[in-house]
Amino acid sequence: MVMIKLFQKIYELQNKNHFTFSEFTNNLAPFVKIGFNNFIDSEFDDVVDILNGYSFRSNLYQKEGIRIIRITNVQKNKLIDPNPVYYEPNLVENRFMLKENDILISLTGNVGRVAKVTSDFMPCALNQRVGCLRLKNDIIDFDYLYYFLNSPIFENDCVLSSKGLAQK
C-alpha cells in the first residue's frame, strides 16, 4: 500500500509542469527512511559507489559468456537487450561486473536514462559510456533513489548539463 501511494505522489508531481524541490520533498517525505526533517550530512559518494564501464572490444564478442551491458541497453526505467553480446568470462575484470539492483545511467547520447540491473540480465558487465551507482549502505532507500533518478527533474538536469558535450 505504501508503494502504491508513493507511485501516486510521483505520478502527480511528474504531471505538473513545474514544482519546487520543497514541494517534491514535502510530498515524498513520508516514504523516505530517514525523513526530510532528519537529514544526514553526507556527500553522495558516502552513500553510493560510482563506477565506470570498460571499453570491451567488439571483435571479441561471443554468443555466450558474460553479457555486456551497453548504452543502447539502458532505456528509461528498464534494460532492454534484443541483440545481446557476451564476453569470455576470464577476460572480464571483477571491477566491471554488475550486481542485481545496480542503477545504470546513460552518460552520452540520450543522457540521463536510468535503469536497474535485474536477475534476468545476470551475469553481466558494464560497458563504457554507462555509469553505475551501487548503494554502500541504507542511509538512502534504494527505491527512493531509483525513482528520483527516473524523475523528469533528474533527466532534465542531465540533458541541460550535457548540452555541447556530445561525443563525436
Please give the average per-residue pLDDT across 106-132, as a whole number. 92
Place of cell 533518478: 149
Strand pairing partners for 131? Answer: 52, 105
Percent of the chain with pLDDT over 70: 70
Place of cell 552513500: 47
Please give the average per-residue pLDDT across 153-157, as a whole number. 79
pLDDT in tens, 20-34: 555 555 555 555 544
Reply yes or no on whether the pLDDT at 82 is more than 80. yes
Model pTM above 0.75? no
Measure Cα distances from 77 to 8, 37, 60, 63, 68 in Å.
17, 29, 29, 26, 18
